[in-house]
């Protein structure tokens, strides 16, 4: 792939990880499990990006966490807080609006810009 | 028990975190790394290889720690960079010049040999450059990390104004009047005398100098008129301006050093009347010399700056 392509692609993907985490963590999950789940659903993210991100979202109050020591290996489970749910709703709306806007760009492909939509 | 790679990795990551975060991050990272290794082992990888791969993918522990602690990975970020750069440029234009001038003046007044004067001035100038860069950068690096807001915001009023380069009619007249006054002063000094002793006029400047000084002033007047006719500064004009300034400076400084600038008779009278010693006279001469050099050097720089501005 072109070098230029990759930069733009990463830029576009950056914000989507937050949204994906907030929505996936409505059922509690832990770091490595979430990483696998994201991968499985087609979100590419590095472990060294995800782990600090989870802590940051927790600090901002969008995630809550608790330690689960029932299993042999104690794990820190994160869950989306009410504030996190509201954030996820807002981001989803934004995402859909953007998606519509981009779809409208590809649907009518005029050679010259028109103002018919206004 | 030997420390494993994982333990070393985790130790390297948490050591720069706050004590409260350390325990939590350590436990979480231990679990995450163990999970990841296990995942790879289950797919048939050897445990040591899996550990290496997992830790390599996590990358430099310092970078990871910066992520955990929300620390910037740059010295000065986009929020402060422009302000930092403007301040450094401004200070570098002012401070080293003042330091070099000050040290050179001080050394000259204390009668240091020319080699010492030059050496000390250059050393002081260089160290002032290093200091300006270092301290300003340090302050901004701290600002970047404490996140203090300086309340500096750009608005359109800060746009640089077009600077006049002094080639208009008013500038021409003003400069010609000044040059005329200077020529008048030289002639008056020579033939009427500012100083009179026993009813006899006593020129300040050495008597044989005046034709040369008038010639210099004439050249300068010609230059000012040519500049006005051309309407703008050019490389050629900047070169001529530099040559004139260097000529003026070297003539005055040479005469000053040889003690031929002022009329010896006047110097005698001046000493007798004011009662100052040789030392004071020397100090006055050095100060005069530095002023002449400073004005000339500024005139040269000014010419080139104006050429640069008109060239756009």
pLDDT digits (tens, 9 = 90+) for B14-38: 998 988 889 899 999 999 999 999 9
Asked, for residue A111, whether it belongs to a domain, the answer is: no
Asked, for residue B157, whether it belongs to a domain, the answer is: no
Listed in sequence order, the DSSP H helices in chain B are 5-14, 19-42, 47-58, 61-69, 78-109, 114-146, 169-191, 210-230, 235-258, 264-274, 278-310
**DSSP labels, B208-240:** GGHHHHHHHHHHHHHHHHHHHHH-S--HHHHHH
Asked if B23 has any chain A CB less than 8 Å from its own CB, the reply is no
Secondary element (H or E) of residue A30: strand A29-30
CA distances from A1 to A46, B57, B185, B226 (A): 19, 21, 78, 62
Residue B65's pLDDT is: 93
**Domain identity same for B17 and B49:** yes
Three-state secondary structure call for residue B175: helix
Asked, for residue A63, whether it belongs to a domain, the answer is: yes
Does the pLDDT value for residue A91 go beyond 90?
A: yes
Percent of chain A with pLDDT over 70: 88
The verdict on a CB contact (< 8 Å) between B36 and A47 is yes
**Domain identity same for B178 and B288:** yes
Asked, for residue A92, whether it belongs to a domain, the answer is: yes
**Domain identity same for B94 and B117:** yes
Asked whether B307 and B234 are in contact (CB, 8 A), the reply is: yes
| Mean pLDDT computed over every residue of chain B | 87
- From chain A, the residues in CB contact with B24 under 8 A are 76
Asked if A68 has any chain B CB less than 8 Å from its own CB, the reply is no
Residue B198's pLDDT is: 67
- The total number of structural domains in chain B stands at 3
**Domain identity same for B188 and B287:** yes
The verdict on a CB contact (< 8 Å) between B32 and A32 is yes
Range of the structural domain that residue A58 is part of: 12-97
CA distances from B212 to A26, B230, B231, B292, B297 (A): 93, 27, 29, 17, 21
Rounded to 10 deg, the angle between the A16-24 and A82-107 helix axes is 130
Which carries the bigger pLDDT value, residue A14 or residue A118?
Answer: A14
**Domain identity same for B132 and B216:** no
Instruction: Give the separation between CA B167 and CA B264, rounded to whole angstroms.
Output: 40
- From chain B, the residues in CB contact with A56 under 8 A are 70
Asked, for residue A2, whether it belongs to a domain, the answer is: no
Residue A110's pLDDT is: 57
* Per-residue H/E/C for B47-58: HHHHHHHHHHHH
Least reliable range by pLDDT among B60-69, B121-130, B280-289? B280-289
> Given B24, B28, B68, which is nearest A31 (Cβ)?
B28
**Domain identity same for B132 and B191:** no
**Domain identity same for B221 and B300:** yes
Q: Supply φ then ψ for residue B195, to 5 degrees.
A: -110, 135
Q: Supply φ then ψ for residue A61, to 5 degrees.
A: 90, 10
In 3D space, the residue among B181, B197, B217, B213 whose CA is nearest the CA of residue B271 turns out to be B197
Which carries the bigger pLDDT value, residue B279 or residue A59?
Answer: A59
Asked, for residue B159, whether it belongs to a domain, the answer is: no
Per residue in A23-69, pLDDT tens? 999 999 999 999 999 999 989 899 999 999 999 999 999 999 999 88
CA B156 to chain centroid: 27
Closest residue on chain B to A76 (Cα) = B28
Residue B307's pLDDT is: 87
Per residue in B41-56, pLDDT tens? 999 989 899 999 999 9
What the block records as the tokens of B304 is 């080139």
DSSP A74: -
Query: What CATH code is carried by the domain that includes residue A53?
Result: 1.10.10.10
Residue A71's pLDDT is: 80
Instruction: Give the separation between CA B212 and CA B251, rounded to whole angstroms.
Output: 10
End residue of a domain, out of B15, B40, B69: B69
Asked, for residue A5, whether it belongs to a domain, the answer is: no
**DSSP labels, A38-72:** HHHTT----HHHHHHHHHHHHHTTSEEEEEE-SSS
Asked, for residue A73, whether it belongs to a domain, the answer is: yes
Mutate to test the interface with A, among B18, B26, B31, B41 (most CBs of A within 10 A): B31
Residue B171's pLDDT is: 83
Does the pLDDT value for residue A112 go beyond 60?
A: no
> Given B25, B35, B68, which is nearest A32 (Cβ)?
B35
Does the pLDDT value for residue B1 go beyond 60?
A: no
Residue B203's pLDDT is: 81
At residue A108 the predicted structure's pLDDT band, cuts being 50, 70 and 90, is: low
Range of the structural domain that residue B255 is part of: 169-310
Asked whether A60 and A52 are in contact (CB, 8 A), the reply is: no
- The total number of structural domains in chain A stands at 1
Interface of A with B in 70-109 (CB under 8 A): 73-76
Per residue in B165-215, pLDDT tens? 777 788 888 889 999 999 998 888 888 777 766 667 778 888 888 888 899
Q: A with B: how many residue pairs have Cβ under 8 Å apart?
A: 55
Residue B132 CB neighbours (<10 A): 19
Closest residue on chain A to B71 (Cα) = A52
First CA to last CA across chain B, in angstroms? Answer: 73
Per residue in B217-265, pLDDT tens? 999 999 989 988 888 888 899 999 999 999 999 988 888 888 888 888 8
**Domain identity same for B120 and B173:** no
């Amino acid at each position: 792939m072109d070098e230029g392509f990759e930069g733009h692609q990463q830029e576009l993907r950056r914000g989507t990880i937050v949204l994906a985490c907030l929505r996936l963590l409505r059922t509690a999950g832990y770091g490595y499990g979430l990483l696998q789940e994201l991968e499985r659903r087609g979100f590419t993210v590095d472990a060294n990006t995800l782990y600090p991100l989870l802590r940051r979202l927790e600090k901002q109050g969008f995630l809550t966490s608790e330690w689960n020591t029932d299993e042999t290996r104690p794990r820190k489970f994160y869950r989306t807080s009410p504030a996190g749910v509201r954030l996820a709703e807002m981001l989803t709306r934004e995402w859909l609006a953007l998606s519509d806007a981009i779809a409208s760009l590809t649907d009518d492909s005029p050679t010259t810009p028109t103002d018919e939509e206004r | 028990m030997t420390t494993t790679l994982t333990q070393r990795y985790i130790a390297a990551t948490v050591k720069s975190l706050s004590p409260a975060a350390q325990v939590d991050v350590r436990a979480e990272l231990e679990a995450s790394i163990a999970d990841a290794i296990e995942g790879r082992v289950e797919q048939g990888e050897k445990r040591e290889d899996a550990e290496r791969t997992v830790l390599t993918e996590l990358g430099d522990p310092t970078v990871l720690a910066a992520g955990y602690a929300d620390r910037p990975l740059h010295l000065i970020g986009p929020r402060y960079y422009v302000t930092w750069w403007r301040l450094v440029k401004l200070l570098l234009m002012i401070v080293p010049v003042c330091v070099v001038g000050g040290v050179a003046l001080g050394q000259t007044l204390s009668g240091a040999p020319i080699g010492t004067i030059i050496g000390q001035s250059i050393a002081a100038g260089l160290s002032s450059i290093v200091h300006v860069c270092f301290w300003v950068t340090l302050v901004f690096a701290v600002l970047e990390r404490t996140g203090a807001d300086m309340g500096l915001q750009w608005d359109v009023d800060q746009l640089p104004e077009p600077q006049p380069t002094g080639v208009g009619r008013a500038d021409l007249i003003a400069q010609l009047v000044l040059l005329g006054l200077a020529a008048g002063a030289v002639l008056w000094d020579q033939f009427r005398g500012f100083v009179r002793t026993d009813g006899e006029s006593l020129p300040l400047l050495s008597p044989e100098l005046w034709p040369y000084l008038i010639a210099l002033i004439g050249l300068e007047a010609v230059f000012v008129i040519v500049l006005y006719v051309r309407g703008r500064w050019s490389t050629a004009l900047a070169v001529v301006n530099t040559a004139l300034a260097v000529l003026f400076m070297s003539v005055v400084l040479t005469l000053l050093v040889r003690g031929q600038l002022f009329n010896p008779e006047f110097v005698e009278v001046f000493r007798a009347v004011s009662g100052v010693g040789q030392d004071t006279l020397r100090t006055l001469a050095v100060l005069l010399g530095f002023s002449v050099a400073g004005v000339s050097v500024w005139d040269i720089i000014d010419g080139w700056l104006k050429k640069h501005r008109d060239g756009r």
